Structure 1
Amino acid sequence: MIRVLLADDEHMIRAGVRAILSTDPGIEVVAEAADGREAIDLALAHRPDIALLDIRMPRLDGLSAAAELRRVLPETAVVMLTTFGEDEHVHRALAEGADGFLLKAGDPRELLTGVHAVAGGGAYLSPSVAKRVLGRLGPERLSRAEEARRLVDALTPREREVLALLARGLPNAEIGRRLFLVEGTVKAHVSAILVKLGVDNRVRAAIVGHEAGLG
């Protein structure tokens, strides 16, 4: 069972997200918060597998809450809820160690897919979010793509295969099934990929993969 903490200051949004999550028997919403400070308190009390955080919240915004959760409860994965108008916050969220980004107005199936991917040790970026984040790079995009391809070229063929699947948001177990590898071997490849790409989490690795044309 994947235990989820849901934090959003809008009751209707929380109700909608909870309704979507409740359609999956493998997911349980264990607590709901209306602001970032309450989210941290409830996370410490319930120890959820995933904290699903709105970016804009009173008292403590989702980005600050994500940073605090990383410090006090590193075993809880953090997934940010975003809208198209909040893309400028994505890079800060990456720096805070977020494991995923989901659109409030996205396909409900993406919400379920993203929760399962992150719970399984993966990273998940809504395809629309990834496209817009890369699109916002503007003139920098070409040089970033060239740098990403240079970094990816330094990976072994197997590591590139793992990165391509990681960039699609797949968890370690699913990557292992597709590549006929045991999960421990996948974890070792992911660790090596992070070192070679010079990044500190799977979401950053996924973005490098997207910039290099993988995923």
Structure 2
Amino acid sequence: MPFITSFNAADFLSTAISLLVAFGLGALIGLERQYRQRTAGLRTNVLVAIGACQFVDMAMHLAGPDGAVRVIAYVVSGIGFLGAGVIMKEGANVRGLNTAATLWCSAAVGACAGADLVAQAVLLTAFVLAGNTMLRPLVQRLERMPRHAEFGEASYEVVLMVKAELAAELQDRLAKLLDAAKYPASNIEAEERGESLAELTATLVATSVRPEDLNAAVAQLRQLPGVTSAGWSTRIAD
């Protein structure tokens, strides 16, 4: 039988050790994810780690280091499809990016174990755990800090309340005035507000503005016939 002739006890022991290392380290990463009640928890991270480990280990035994390098390249790209499955978009928010990145790192841990780089696998696991635990208080502190538009990208909106019968005309004038102020709008939406009023919302292309410039533009808009109120708002991007 091919199995009997090809079986090598030393190779088998090496594979077993690699899988045990990948299992243990993947479990450490997965425990933290399970404790945080993330989509990809203990079992998922373990399976990713031992799967990557076995693919790389098999390539090492069949084709040597060159074969392992080729398989690692496929593991790196292939794990992206699995990571995409845990990323969810809820309105303007995107969830699961950290979980997907953790899965990617679990695959790297498994690949290191499969390539017999056990020390590197242990070191990488320590860094993954540090990133998911030690950095959490820092992230929470940053999220609680006041945000200022000048320090990051933001989306800006100019909002007008206008007489409904003049909405179309004022929409064109709003676009021209914003262009003249060097803050063109990517789109302008009109929505009815009762029988006599309409709301015009212009989303600006710019992700950074000078407040005094927008204040001046809004002051001009307030003077237009048919405009009952005008203002602008900002939302810092996540």
Report if TM-score (shorter chain) is over 0.5. no
Larger Rg: 2
TM-score by length of 1: 0.28
TM-score by length of 2: 0.26
